[in-house]
Amino acid sequence: MKQINIGILGCGTVGSGTARILLEKQKLISDRTGINVHLKSIADIDPTRGKDLPLADGVMTTDAGAVVDDPEIQIIVELIGGKTLAKELITRAIDNGKHIVTANKALLSAHGNTLFPLAAQRGVDLAYEASVGGCMPIIKSIRESLVGNAIGSIRGILNGTCNYILSRMTAEGCAFDEVLADAQANGFAEADPTLDVDGFDAAHKLAILNAIAFGMTINLEDVYVEGIRRITPMDIEFAADFGYTVKLLAISKQTNGAVEARVHPTMISHDNILASVNGSLNAVTVSGDCVENVLLYGHGAGKMPTASAVVSDIVDIARNLVFGAPGRIPALAYRPEAIRTIPVLPIDRLHTRYYLRFTAENQPGVLSKIAGALGSHNISIKSVNQKGRFYGDHTPLVMMTYKACEADMKKALADIAALHIVADDPIVVRIEEDNGGL
């Protein structure tokens, strides 16, 4: 039986989970593949992290460089995270002719345009299924199962922390800060939640998905990003009155030679299947011209679900090595020479419907002034909701619009602010009407 040696860099949550699967499921994997996938080394600055694993002597080390340079190791699994040391070690491993598995979406979204061509030039595989969607095989699905489809759109809940927070706010009517604090206390959110709640984590993942879906260079800097901090239980309640649920969605679509790429709070109808995805779960829908719509659903993070995706990449590469077929599937779904620069549609050119909530002065004529400012910029109001709540001299005024241009909406809101009839900035939430047929 052919043996393929593995070296893991990082024995944290996902690293230790990956090691555990390789050790405990070794017979299952060999029965399925005919390959002995052997864990040879694990490197971590804290050698005690491996104390709960049934490791042989000499497997655990603090010297990551020694693992990367070990001539007996064919596959390096980078689970350190970050964009500095991880990049250095991956580059060094590629230069040594080693194949790479990583879950590092921040690194790939920032430096993938360099790392993927480098791996291709050296004839090694760089696999990254665990970087997007945890255990959901979204990358494999687009890259392999949907290879005969032109992808039209992707819509997904790609951050479990935000979905957990919004789900709790919806079910219990709790405020954002309260739910976030509870999520941090229970390990669902980081001590510094910025990457998650401000939308950047989902943007990293969307940039990677766009590349494999549309054959474009990774273009993180042009993805529009907006987080969930300003969403309140009041907005969630108003949304429900109109038949909508609030989710943080990552959305991309091919549009007239460009790609929409945006992450922001979104109102979707209650009958959209994504509206029923709650807690820390993730889900993504992909629209292809042959299959129409495909849904993937599962744990987008967590020790063992993410480790499962890492192991799937390890086994794929091991099979390639045994059959002498590294590079069998292009890392970004397209041959390197076919990948091109596709412009990302500026958010100001987006046309969509909007939910608007103003904290308006309680006086005659306010509604007509706001409606007039919107109308002067070609924005038509579909419905209005005012429940008679009062906050001093102000009351919440909610409007749902017909489709409008984002640039026009910004101009209208600036005009309304200049009228000095509203307190605070309005809450603006975009509405996604198309549920992808699901």
Catalytic site residues? 205
CA–CA distance, 38 with 3 (Å, rounded to integer): 7
Q: Are 98 and 124 in contact (CB under 8 A)?
A: yes
CA separation for the pair 206, 249 (Å, rounded): 10
Residue 116 token pair: 């993927």
Binding annotation for NADPH: 105
Contact 117, 94 (CB under 8 A): no
Give binding residues as ranges: 9-16, 105, 190
Radius of gyration of the chain (CA): 24
- How many Cα atoms sit within 13 Å of 57 on the Cβ side? 0
Residues flagged as binding site for L-homoserine = 190
Listing DSSP states for 281-313 in one string gives EEEEEEEETTTEEEEEEEESSSHHHHHHHHHHH
State how far the Cα of 260 lies from the Cα of 363, in Å rounded to an integer.
Answer: 40
Instruction: Quote the CA–CA distance of 207 and 108 in Å, as a whole number.
Output: 9
Please name the helix (run of DSSP H) or strand (run of DSSP E) that holds residue 68, with its range, or none: helix 64-69
- Counted residue by residue, the chain has a size of 438
Q: How far apart, in whole angstroms, are the C-alpha atoms of residue 115 and residue 126?
A: 8
Nearest-10 Cα torsion for 132, 137, 139, 141: -150
- What CA–CA distance (Å, rounded) separates 172 from 168? 6
Look at the block and give the residue holding tokens 């957990």: 164
Which among 429, 403, 313 has a CA at the least distance from the CA of 351?
403
CB 110 within 8 A of CB 83: yes
Residue 113 corresponds to which tokens in the numbers above?
């345009």
81-119 CB burial, b ≥16 within 10 A, e <16: beeeebbebbbebbeeebbbbbbbbbbbbbbbbebbeeb
**Positive or negative CA dihedral for 135, 269, 374, 257?**
positive
Q: Report the distance separating Cα 25 and Cα 15, nearest Å.
A: 15
| Residue stretches of the annotated binding site for NADP(+) | 9-16
